[in-house]
Structure 1
Amino acid sequence: MARQEEEGADVSTHVGVAERLRRGYVFAHDCPSRDVLSHITSRWAVLVLVALMAGTHRFSALRRKVSGVSEKMLAQTLQTLEADGFVDRVAYPVVPPKVEYRLTPMGDAVAARLEGLADWVEIHIGDIVAHRTGHDQATRIAAPLTAAAETVQAADAL
């Protein structure tokens, strides 16, 4: 490390192999933290995790709360979140079957962060939609101009 400091290297970005294995390195293409990041930031996972912050839910209650999610997508999302350790699934041996879902401590931690992101999006949705609308209009105007310019260039090349 001292040699790197002498050469002017940024020591704060140097992470040892053992630390990377323990912590993960999301920018590396083969890091498993990328998969987890993908799992927790999917549209349905964000909504499910934030919904479960209110407490334990049965499957049907979650499906009602997360409007628009199909039964299949909700089941897949819950299975993935359970496999990653963010959600606990408790099945009771009764007829009809009763299954409940709740956040684990790790799920609580990630849900709190995602809630902040969801809140930010809701607060700024007006600005986002206005920007998107302006961008779409600019793209619609620019596309014919670009096509015309390409046609002129092709004609000039002949």
Structure 2
Amino acid sequence: MQLETPIREIMTTALITVAPDTPVKEIQKIFAANSFHHLPVVEAGSQLVGIVSREDFRIFYEQLSAQSSGPTWSHMQLEHRRAKDLMTASPLCLDPDDTIGLAADIFLANKFHALPVIEDGLLMGILTTHDILAYSVGAGNLSEEEVG
């Protein structure tokens, strides 16, 4: 694999995003209908303000269950929650010219699986560990011994 390859060459650019005021129920539906695990949260003009992950939902539901007085209470709490209540605000981001090697180091050091890619303050894409693996295998850069 070419570790010096800029991530702009492999990042995902066809993104679904949500606004900070998007209801949690709508985010739930988006995750249920798609296989990705992270949703960028943007304000007008693609200005990134945060990211919501499936893991954020798991933690949120654990906290709700711990506080719960029953299913009705949990449902009522869910109705009033928005993306801004669950998101990781101001997440660590990559630049499109950052290299795959740098991104891999950041993923490993922080145990991340996805990072938004921004340029001039605007969301340009997202890079995931899946993108890096797909590039590695698709480019024929990993031998059968390395894969498995």
Q: Which has the higher strand share?
A: 2
- Report the structure number with the largest CA radius of gyration: 1
Q: Do these two structures clear the TM 0.5 threshold for a shared fold by scoring above it?
A: no
In proportion to residue count, which structure has more helix?
A: 1
TM-score, normalised to structure 1, is: 0.23
